[in-house]
């Protein structure tokens, strides 16, 4: 806040301000109001700081960031009122979130689309949307879904606005790990777009196809994810949506990881990290690191994976991303399990599990339950391992996570092998293999076929083991890893 005794306000109210202060205000995630008190008028004038930077300063003085200080101008009609303050609080917040997609300040992997809401003249709609989006940013996903569903019930909205609400509801489901419901809502966005203005819907369709690709990847359909996302790359290269471009590259990298094409995965993840870094999207950099660490985990390069996960965790901690920290911590638990440091593995995985339970993130919760089961299995506690595997399987089935179901079946087969029951193991392995074949996850097929070879050898069925080996050879040739 700045104050002055007297000022000639015939045209506007000039104020000299340090550029480093403005650069700080530009990064704030809530609307910042700059107040100018004129004592002689007993009046206070106001300005939405981020909006002034984007709409005026960047256009009229593009070199302002290199200057020590700049002059900003308050319009003479900018006297502070309750209505003006409310407008800045609601419209300003929505503009900030929308700008995050373009400038790289968003913290999530799936992306909001708010074009319909800022264009609305419905004050009640904007306020309810503000509250719902705040719930998502605070990671209260179930409450956000309720709030967004309420908007659809009580508000008469345009097709563009409906696209926005459906999109953000899908994002909330996605962040809960409820991929089936997320996919249904994203497809609903495409249906509604047919009634929307062509110019208005272009951005929304770009975002929704990106989110659909994310869902396909996590549901265990890497080929579908790649097919959905690859055409977006050329459309995004020269666009302003650099964060979305990074997300597309990141998700393609994740899909190639799930297919077992690890070199291709690293290539796309590195490109994603570069896009995120250029956009100053630090959370995206952490996400790419996390996924890259998973690739090194598959390569059995555990020390490298550990270093990468620690870097990702530190970034998430600085950003205050609870979900990001939980994922990085859980991945570190996987590293310690592979290093046979079981106590440390349980410490990290349980920490991740508790966070995901609080966030109601079912898919992540199921993953951690399976990881805990594996640690107990390797410690020789078969009963406890069975309990955790069954809990994980039930959750994966509830949310429609095909890869998660297959992973749980594989774990149950591994348990039967530890109990010297190869026949029981074979039954579980074939169920898992069928799911992996349906999803196109070739590396998972190879791992499961290797498990079948061990089981057939225990039964002295070497011909069947050889057939599995031949299938592995064919898959490895297709992946280019022979």
Q: Domain containing 198: what range?
A: 109-219
Residues 51 and 125 in one domain: no
pLDDT at residue 319 in the model: 84
Q: Would 199 be classed as within a structural domain?
A: yes
Distance CA 364, CA 354 (A): 11
Residues 75 and 123 in one domain: no
Residues 125 and 211 in one domain: yes
Comparing 9-13, 253-257, 460-464, the range with the smallest average pLDDT is 9-13
pLDDT at residue 101 in the model: 44
pLDDT at residue 352 in the model: 95
Distance CA 160, CA 198 (A): 10
Q: Would 340 be classed as within a structural domain?
A: no
- Residue 121: give its domain's CATH number: 1.25.40.10
In this predicted structure, the answer to whether residue 9 has a pLDDT above a threshold of 70 is no
Helix, strand, coil fractions of the chain, as percent rounded to 5: 75, 5, 20
Q: Would 331 be classed as within a structural domain?
A: no
Of residues 102 and 253, the one with the higher pLDDT is 253
Of residues 262 and 42, the one with the higher pLDDT is 262
What's the pLDDT band for 113 if we cut at 50, 70, 90? low
Of residues 441 and 76, the one with the higher pLDDT is 76
Domain boundary among 196, 219, 242: 219
In this predicted structure, the answer to whether residue 112 has a pLDDT above a threshold of 70 is no
Among 235, 191, 232, 236, which Cα is nearest to 213's?
A: 232
Q: Would 183 be classed as within a structural domain?
A: yes
Distance CA 288, CA 286 (A): 5
β-pair type (33-38, 43-48)? antiparallel
pLDDT digits (tens, 9 = 90+) for 272-330: 999 888 887 888 899 999 999 999 999 999 999 999 999 999 999 988 888 899 999 99
Among 189, 151, 194, which Cα is nearest to 170's?
A: 189
> What's the average model confidence in pLDDT over 387-414?
92
Residues 193 and 134 in one domain: yes
Residues 41 and 126 in one domain: no
Residues 158 and 73 in one domain: no
Q: Would 95 be classed as within a structural domain?
A: no
Residues 119 and 213 in one domain: yes
In this predicted structure, the answer to whether residue 429 has a pLDDT above a threshold of 80 is yes
17, β-bridge pairs: 70
Q: Would 401 be classed as within a structural domain?
A: no
What's the pLDDT band for 332 if we cut at 50, 70, 90? very high
> What's the average model confidence in pLDDT over 417-439?
93
Candidate ranges 35-39, 231-235, 358-362; pick with highest mean pLDDT: 231-235
Are 325 and 366 contacting, i.e. CB atoms less than 8 angstroms apart?
Answer: no
pLDDT at residue 107 in the model: 37
pLDDT digits (tens, 9 = 90+) for 16-34: 898 888 887 877 767 889 9
Domain boundary among 158, 190, 219: 219
C-alpha dihedral (67, 73, 79, 85), degrees to nearest 10? -40
Q: Would 68 be classed as within a structural domain?
A: yes
> What's the average model confidence in pLDDT over 368-386?
96
Residues 75 and 124 in one domain: no
Mean pLDDT of the chain: 86
Which tokens sit at 429? 């392995």
211-214 contact pairs (CB < 8 A, 24+): 211/110, 211/111, 211/167, 211/170, 211/171, 211/174, 211/182, 211/186, 212/183, 212/186, 212/187, 213/248, 213/251, 213/252, 213/255, 214/109, 214/110, 214/174, 214/247, 214/251
Residues 208 and 116 in one domain: yes
pTM of the shown model = 0.65
Of residues 135 and 343, the one with the higher pLDDT is 343
Distance CA 51, CA 28 (A): 12
Q: What phi-psi label fits residue 380: left (phi over 0), alpha (psi between -120 and 50 degrees) or beta?
A: left
In this predicted structure, the answer to whether residue 466 has a pLDDT above a threshold of 90 is yes
pLDDT at residue 413 in the model: 97
Residues 74 and 135 in one domain: no
Domain boundary among 80, 100, 119: 80
pLDDT digits (tens, 9 = 90+) for 189-205: 999 999 887 776 777 88
> What's the average model confidence in pLDDT over 454-480?
91
Residues 54 and 144 in one domain: no
Share of the chain above pLDDT 90, in %: 43
Q: Would 296 be classed as within a structural domain?
A: no
Which tokens sit at 238? 């020269």
Total structural domains in the chain? 3
pLDDT digits (tens, 9 = 90+) for 69-98: 999 988 888 888 877 877 777 677 767 765
> What's the average model confidence in pLDDT over 104-126?
63
What's the pLDDT band for 427 if we cut at 50, 70, 90? very high
Residues 153 and 213 in one domain: yes
What's the pLDDT band for 390 if we cut at 50, 70, 90? very high
Sign of CA dihedral 347, 350, 356, 361: positive
45, β-bridge pairs: 36, 79
pLDDT at residue 480 in the model: 66
């Amino acid at each position: 806040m700045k104050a002055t005794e007297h000022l000639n306000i015939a045209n506007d109210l000039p104020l000299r301000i340090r550029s480093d202060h403005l650069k700080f205000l530009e990064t704030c995630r809530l609307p910042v109001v700059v107040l100018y008190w004129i004592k002689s008028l007993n009046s206070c004038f106001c300005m939405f700081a981020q909006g002034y930077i984007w709409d005026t300063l960047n256009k009229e003085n593009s070199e302002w960031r290199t200057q020590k200080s700049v002059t900003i101008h308050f319009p003479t009609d900018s006297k502070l009122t309750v209505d003006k303050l409310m407008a800045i609080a609601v419209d300003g917040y929505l503009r900030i979130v929308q700008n995050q997609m373009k400038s790289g300040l968003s913290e999530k992997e799936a992306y909001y689309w708010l074009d319909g809401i800022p264009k609305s003249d419905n004050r009640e709609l904007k306020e309810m949307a503000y509250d719902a989006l705040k719930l998502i940013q605070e990671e209260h996903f179930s409450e956000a879904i309720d709030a967004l569903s309420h908007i659809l019930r009580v508000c008469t909205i345009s097709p563009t606005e409906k696209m926005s609400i459906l999109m953000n509801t899908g994002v909330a489901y996605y962040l809960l790990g409820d991929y089936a419901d997320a996919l249904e809502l994203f497809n609903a966005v495409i249906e509604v777009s047919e009634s929307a203005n062509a110019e208005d819907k272009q951005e929304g369709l770009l975002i929704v196809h990106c989110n659909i690709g994310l869902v396909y990847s996590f549901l265990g359909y890497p080929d579908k994810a790649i097919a959905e996302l690859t055409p977006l790359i050329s459309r995004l290269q020269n666009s302003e949506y650099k964060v979305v471009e990074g997300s597309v590259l990141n998700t393609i990298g994740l899909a190639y990881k799930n297919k077992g094409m690890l070199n291709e995965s690293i290539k796309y993840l590195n490109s994603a990290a570069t896009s995120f870094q250029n956009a100053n999207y630090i959370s995206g950099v952490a996400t790419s690191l996390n996924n890259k660490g998973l690739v090194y985990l598959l390569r059995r390069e555990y020390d490298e994976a550990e270093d990468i996960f620690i870097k990702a965790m530190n970034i998430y901690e600085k950003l205050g991303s609870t979900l990001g920290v939980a994922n990085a911590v859980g991945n570190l638990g996987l590293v310690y399990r592979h290093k046979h440091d079981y106590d440390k593995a349980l410490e990290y995985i349980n920490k991740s599990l508790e966070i995901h339970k609080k966030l109601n993130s079912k898919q992540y919760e199921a993953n951690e339950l399976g990881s805990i089961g594996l640690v107990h299995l390797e410690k020789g506690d078969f009963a406890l391992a069975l309990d955790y595997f069954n809990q994980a399987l039930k959750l994966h089935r509830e949310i429609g996570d095909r890869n998660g179901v297959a992973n749980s079946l594989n774990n149950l087969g591994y348990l039967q092998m530890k109990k010297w029951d190869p026949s029981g193991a074979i039954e579980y392995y074939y169920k898992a293999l069928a799911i992996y074949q349906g999803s196109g996850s070739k590396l998972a097929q190879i791992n499961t076929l290797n498990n079948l070879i061990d089981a057939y050898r225990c039964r002295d069925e070497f011909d069947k083991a050889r057939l599995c080996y031949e299938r592995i050879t064919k898959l490895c040739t297709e992946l280019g890893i022979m």
